[in-house]
Amino acid sequence: MKKISFIFCLLALYFAFGQDSTKTSSQLNELVLTKKNGKIRVDAEKNAVFSKGNETFQNMIYKNFRMRKVLNTGKKENCEVTFIIEKDGSLVDLKAFGSSESLNNEAIISVQKIKEKWIPAEMNGIKVREKFRFPIKIDFTKKNN
């Protein structure tokens, strides 16, 4: 239980700083492209937020996450979940990238189980699409007491 609590405490910290805009203008051509530190970013005036609050979204992922489905590799595992929040608040293009396929799969399933919609991003008062990402880290090297 300590391991799961630790994981989602890390998730909370990264979730707060994990929001990022998309880098492809072909998919999200209605946003403003800016170049910062050699990377192209897409910025909205008002970022998308989960309708019940981002902390509630994090808690819902925690409730949906089945730790027993993640293969214990005995080392630290990382996963980054990304998705696009559509103009209607729905999620599309859900992907997970990381060092463990079982962690990636469980992260995607945990997000897919959440059916509530998001409040979409806005630019000049118009709803626009936005890419959202958050990392998940699990440390299997620590012993559970």
Enter the pTM of the model. 0.66
> 77-116: per-residue pLDDT in tens?
888 999 999 999 999 999 999 888 888 898 899 899 998 9
DSSP-based three-state secondary structure for 57? helix
What values do phi and psi take at 98, rounded to 5? 180, -175
Nearest CA among 84, 94, 101, 63 for reference residue 19? 84
Strand partners for 43: 32
Starting at the edge strand that comes first in sequence, how are the strands of the sheet with 76-85 ordered? Answer: 91-98, 76-85, 130-139
Nearest CA among 19, 132, 134, 135 for reference residue 77? 135
